[in-house]
Amino acid sequence: MQGRKIAFLGTGLMGAPMARRLLAAGFEVTVWNRDRSKAEPLAADGATVADTAVEAARGASVLFTMLTNGGAVGEVLFGSGVADVLEAGTIVIDHSSISPAAAREHAFKLAERGIRHIDAPVSGGVVGAAAGTLAIMAGGDATVIDSVRDIMAPLGRVTRVGPSGTGQLAKLGNQQIVAVTIGAVAEAMLLVEAGGGSREAFRDAIRGGFAESRILELHGQRMIERNFEPGGTARNQLKDLDTVLAAAQNLSLHLPLTEAVRAEFAEFVENGGGEQDHSGLLQHLEDKNARGKA
């Protein structure tokens, strides 16, 4: 693994276990986080902890970003001076979930400096990040993606979706499916219980049939247990759905199911559910039905 210095910017809930996977694979990794206390524990795993993003980026041949949104990625790359210290030929791998338009803009601006860019959002959550089983949806030049498959391998399964920006579109598609399926599972549980059935027995009865999914398995269990401690928050789910619909508008598409689910998440967040797990949409639908009966 010698000769490929890696910088990893953004070591929060997802970034920290991802950086840890790279360290365990034997890579030399320098990490940075705006809140340094979230980066410092990685020193015990062999990381060098930088005081600034520029310090972390200097001399890196591959730079990872795992930041909150497109604004944060743009600010770190171009506002803080990171792009100015990257050498031509460096590869930037952005695992953040941002808009396709922002990803393409970043790729264009970096290309002007001779820096290559991959938009590579992930799915699989903190558990997948720690286990190295993330689904990585990559957009960009096929040759560039192939050149860093060995580096991304400890993180999960990499699939090139298409040119720049399509990795982000794939992530948005993933988030559409998650949101609509959460809504469908929640509504089905309400229906069965309203008719006298058991939510838990209903879920058990349909497991293994055509309705089987990871959402039914994991979030269905959360709904039964009423455990809405956040894994993915309703606020972030709403943000993703807003981005989906903005992308759809740019592509002249009408997505009625996504629009309907987005409206319910917007109400849920507006009523104070923003920091709950997105499976907590069940509570919003329960409250809405209770108000309808009052």
What band does 291 get if pLDDT is binned at 50, 70 and 90?
Answer: confident
* pLDDT recorded at residue 221: 97
Pinpoint the alpha helices (H) of 123-165: 125-131, 142-147, 149-152
- Residues serving a catalytic function are 171
Backbone angles phi, psi at 148, to 5 degrees: -120, 15
Q: Which of these CATH numbers, 1.20.120.160, 1.10.1040.10, 1.20.1250.20, 2.60.40.10, describes 169-293?
A: 1.10.1040.10
Distance CA 19, CA 24 (A): 9
Digit-coded pLDDT (tens) for 163-219: 999 999 999 999 999 999 999 999 999 999 999 999 999 999 999 999 999 999 999
Give the domain ranges of the chain.
Answer: 6-163, 169-293
Q: What pLDDT sits at residue 293?
A: 77
CA 58 – CA 223 distance, rounded (Å): 47
pLDDT confidence band for 294 (50 / 70 / 90): low
Confidence of residue 124 (pLDDT cuts 50, 70, 90): confident
CA distance 218 to 276: 15
pLDDT at 232 (0 to 100) = 85
* Distance (Å, whole) CA 204 – CA 154: 34
**Residue 252, φ and ψ in degrees, nearest 5:** 60, 40
Whether residue 265 is predicted with pLDDT greater than 70 in this model: the reply is yes
Does the pLDDT at position 3 exceed 80?
no
- Res. 1: pLDDT tops 50: no
Q: Is the pLDDT of residue 229 over 70?
A: yes
Query: Which pLDDT score, from 0 to 100, does residue 2 have?
Result: 47
Class of domain 6-163: alpha beta
Instruction: Write out pLDDT tens, residues 60-112.
Output: 999 999 998 999 999 999 999 999 999 999 999 999 999 999 999 999 999 99
